[in-house]
Structure 1
Amino acid sequence: MSREDFKLLFDTYFDAIKNYLFYRIGDIDIATDITQDVFVRIWEKQMKLDMNNAKYMLYKIARDMLVSKYRRLEVENKYSQRMQFEMTEVVEDNDFDYKQLKLKYENALIKLPDKQRTVFLMSRMEELKYAEIAERLDISIKTVEKRMSNALFYLRKVLTV
């Protein structure tokens, strides 16, 4: 098909095909996209169209492309719905796991010896450095390190099951 024939075909039928698709789907953007795709396909495949029968062939190609687009959209929608369902399950599972872990953590903190719990909470909750903890509690930095090490060892053992 020559460039002039294609231009004539495009100018003659573009709006008619677009309007046909628009009335079928009600979305002018999708109708325009599909109409452009129809003409791109004709140009790329260098289809030989008889100008007397071109109109019917254009409508058939447009209808087929519309059906293909909606089949793809249907598959995409099913996939996205399935993914949303699976993500909801994961979030609910993670929320449940988090609550269980938090409960275990709180119970483990209660069971820690007072001196270890005090050092641990000062370090983690108040974000104090070991030297600041040692100064506040009037103990050595080595003692703070030992209590913290023991607290972490115990928590790690209790929380990793």
Structure 2
Amino acid sequence: MTAKRSNLISVGRLTGVFGIKGWIKVKSFTSPEDNILQYSPWWLKTRHGVKPVEIDGFEARANGIIVHLPGVDDRDEAALLTNVDIAVEKSQLPQLGDTDFYWHELVGLRVKNRFEGQECDLGVVKELLETGANDVLVVVGDDSSADRRERLIPYVWETYVLAVDLERAEILVSWDPAF
């Protein structure tokens, strides 16, 4: 095991055992779901630190992905790895276009609002939600914001999200602060 590494990004989670030969179910956070299989090594984030692993077998099934890890050859060993996050080096992620961002880049950014000629601070992005139609920013007010409300702002470029400035750690939105 190695110490925690700050350049890791979670891309999935080991969620449960499959069968008796050490196979493990995977919940992928990537899109499409099987993109998680393109990364190597995986870093398993355990309570004892992070550990690099290579998968030595996988199957994409109708109800999700299952993997086999070297040395994990029975159900009891696999059970010890359930609820463990799978991370990869950030440098392995593909480059995105100018107006595309990974969720981990948006979490923690301050949200500034410009609506009907008024400007205010709405808070900080706590997380993002996937709704099917579009992603949603969960913005939580703090001591620096207009109020302490939690707001759900659709991540719709040029309609509600006007700009993202990673260097300044800010997102500019156009959102009715009453919502």
Same fold (TM over 0.5): no
Question: Which of the pair has more CA radius of gyration?
Answer: 1
Between structures 1 and 2, the one with greater strand share: 2
